[in-house]
Amino acid sequence: MTKLSVNINKIATLRNSRGHNTPDVIKAALNIERFGAQGITVHPRPDERHIRYNDVITLKPLLTTEFNIEGNPKEKKFVDLVLETKPAQVTLVPDIQGQLTSDHGWDTIKEKKYLKEIIAVFKSAGIRTSIFVDADVNIVSHAADTGTDRIELYTESYAKHFSANKENAIKPFIEAAQKANEVGLGINAGHDLSLENLAYFKQNIPGLLEVSIGHALISDALYFGLENTVQLYLRQLK
């Protein structure tokens, strides 16, 4: 079964909007685990506009499922945080300063030397690595040379075109996944996956190990409740 890792950034965004501790991000993460999710994802950014670095430190000893920390390793503070907390997985994302949300993957050809070096740092600390990539066979092929354990397929284009033509939307992701399997990389996926498009993605991507879902899941929880929403997403992955 593909694991569901819930990104809790949006819960932190709501908390930060009032400057207090409501909603309680830590309590929400523990509840999400209790409701059946197999992982918790956070993406701390330098401005701490949602998840704060201290949230990450507080969460680590409390979580019982896989902890996935996403971020840009070119930020020294991020690297130090990951090495201090030692999550199950670090997902490297090439965000620029002040970026609203992740919107592109790594160029594993131009950035190969850098990725090799930083991935070696995390792997020497016993942390599984994943790198955020577009659904491009050539990019995936070169990702294997970086030493990463997994790739995370950036699924925004799939979600954007799903309603118009789901067969065309999924095609490059199937090809990228096949290449990942061929070169021995584990496959994660995330960005704009939702109740509408998740099951079809899962059914068509060979070897899909994990999806990281935040915005859509937390938004659905406003209507369906958090526990019920986690269960709805888990059902899409069966």
Catalytic residue positions, numbered: 43, 70, 191
Kindly give, in sequence order, each residue whose CB lies less than 8 Å from that of residue 76, ignoring residues fewer than 6 positions away. none
Asked if 54 and 48 count as a contact pair (C-beta separation under 8 A), the reply is no
How far is residue 51's CA from residue 151's CA, in Å, rounded to a whole number?
23
- What's the DSSP call for residue 96? P
Distance between CA atoms of 76 and 157, rounded to whole angstroms? 30
Who contacts 145 (Cβ-Cβ below 8 Å, separation ≥6)?
108, 112, 116
Report the C-alpha gap between 112 and 232 in whole angstroms: 38
Nearest Cα to 78, choosing from 62, 63, 93? 93
Amino acid code (one letter) for 28: A
d(CA 64, CA 15): 23
Cβ-contact 82, 60 below 8 angstroms = no
